[in-house]
Amino acid sequence: MPTLMCLFAIVHGRVHGVFFRDFTYTQATALGLTGYVRNLANCTVEAVAEGPSDALERLLEQIRVGPPAAQVEKVDFQWQDPSGQFDRFEVRYR
Protein backbone atom coordinates (compact mmCIF):
# COMPACT_ATOMS: atom_id res chain seq x y z
CA MET A 1 0.00 0.00 0.00
CA PRO A 2 1.48 3.39 -0.98
CA THR A 3 2.42 5.91 1.69
CA LEU A 4 0.10 8.92 1.66
CA MET A 5 1.76 12.27 2.16
CA CYS A 6 1.21 16.00 1.69
CA LEU A 7 3.52 18.18 -0.39
CA PHE A 8 3.57 21.88 0.53
CA ALA A 9 5.51 23.91 -2.06
CA ILE A 10 6.27 27.55 -2.80
CA VAL A 11 7.54 28.14 -6.33
CA HIS A 12 9.77 31.17 -7.01
CA GLY A 13 10.66 32.77 -10.33
CA ARG A 14 8.60 33.90 -13.31
CA VAL A 15 5.52 31.90 -12.38
CA HIS A 16 2.68 34.44 -12.65
CA GLY A 17 1.00 35.03 -16.00
CA VAL A 18 2.61 31.97 -17.62
CA PHE A 19 -0.14 29.36 -17.01
CA PHE A 20 1.73 27.89 -14.03
CA ARG A 21 -1.47 27.23 -12.06
CA ASP A 22 -3.10 25.52 -15.05
CA PHE A 23 0.06 23.47 -15.63
CA THR A 24 0.14 22.36 -11.99
CA TYR A 25 -3.58 21.54 -12.03
CA THR A 26 -3.18 19.40 -15.16
CA GLN A 27 -0.17 17.54 -13.76
CA ALA A 28 -1.73 16.97 -10.32
CA THR A 29 -5.06 15.72 -11.65
CA ALA A 30 -3.28 13.38 -14.09
CA LEU A 31 -1.41 11.94 -11.09
CA GLY A 32 -4.64 11.50 -9.11
CA LEU A 33 -3.68 14.02 -6.42
CA THR A 34 -5.93 16.27 -4.35
CA GLY A 35 -5.25 19.79 -3.04
CA TYR A 36 -4.86 23.19 -4.65
CA VAL A 37 -2.58 25.66 -6.38
CA ARG A 38 -2.78 29.45 -6.12
CA ASN A 39 -0.85 32.63 -6.84
CA LEU A 40 0.43 34.53 -3.82
CA ALA A 41 0.75 38.31 -3.59
CA ASN A 42 4.58 38.12 -3.51
CA CYS A 43 4.65 36.71 -7.09
CA THR A 44 5.19 33.12 -5.98
CA VAL A 45 2.88 30.14 -6.42
CA GLU A 46 1.71 27.94 -3.56
CA ALA A 47 0.84 24.31 -4.20
CA VAL A 48 -0.54 21.87 -1.66
CA ALA A 49 -1.04 18.32 -2.88
CA GLU A 50 -1.96 15.09 -1.14
CA GLY A 51 -1.69 11.53 -2.34
CA PRO A 52 0.79 8.68 -2.77
CA SER A 53 4.38 9.72 -2.15
CA ASP A 54 5.59 8.51 -5.56
CA ALA A 55 2.99 10.67 -7.36
CA LEU A 56 3.95 13.66 -5.19
CA GLU A 57 7.61 13.17 -6.09
CA ARG A 58 6.66 13.25 -9.78
CA LEU A 59 4.62 16.43 -9.27
CA LEU A 60 7.57 18.05 -7.50
CA GLU A 61 9.83 17.17 -10.44
CA GLN A 62 7.32 18.71 -12.85
CA ILE A 63 6.81 21.96 -10.95
CA ARG A 64 10.59 22.40 -10.69
CA VAL A 65 10.47 22.81 -14.49
CA GLY A 66 7.01 24.32 -15.02
CA PRO A 67 5.33 25.19 -18.30
CA PRO A 68 7.38 26.49 -21.27
CA ALA A 69 6.93 30.23 -20.50
CA ALA A 70 7.86 29.88 -16.82
CA GLN A 71 11.30 30.35 -15.32
CA VAL A 72 11.41 28.47 -12.04
CA GLU A 73 14.26 29.73 -9.88
CA LYS A 74 13.65 27.53 -6.86
CA VAL A 75 11.02 25.48 -5.09
CA ASP A 76 10.83 25.55 -1.30
CA PHE A 77 8.95 22.48 -0.13
CA GLN A 78 8.04 20.45 2.93
CA TRP A 79 6.65 16.97 3.39
CA GLN A 80 3.75 16.88 5.81
CA ASP A 81 1.18 14.41 7.05
CA PRO A 82 -1.92 14.45 4.84
CA SER A 83 -4.95 16.26 6.23
CA GLY A 84 -7.51 14.40 4.14
CA GLN A 85 -9.47 17.64 3.74
CA PHE A 86 -9.38 17.70 -0.09
CA ASP A 87 -11.64 15.70 -2.40
CA ARG A 88 -10.14 17.01 -5.66
CA PHE A 89 -7.37 19.24 -6.98
CA GLU A 90 -8.35 22.83 -7.77
CA VAL A 91 -7.05 26.22 -8.79
CA ARG A 92 -7.74 28.79 -6.10
CA TYR A 93 -7.99 32.47 -6.84
CA ARG A 94 -7.56 33.79 -3.29
Active site residue 39: yes
Closest CA to 15 of 79, 92, 89, 74: 74
d(CA 54, CA 69): 26
CA-CA distance, 5 to 53, in Å (whole number)? 6
Query: CB neighbours (10 Å) of residue 76?
Result: 10
Given the residues 39, 42, 58, 88, select the one marked as catalytic: 39
- Taking the C-alpha atoms of residue 81 and residue 4, their distance in angstroms, rounded to an integer, is 8
Q: Is 42 a catalytic residue?
A: no
Q: What residues act catalytically?
A: 21, 39
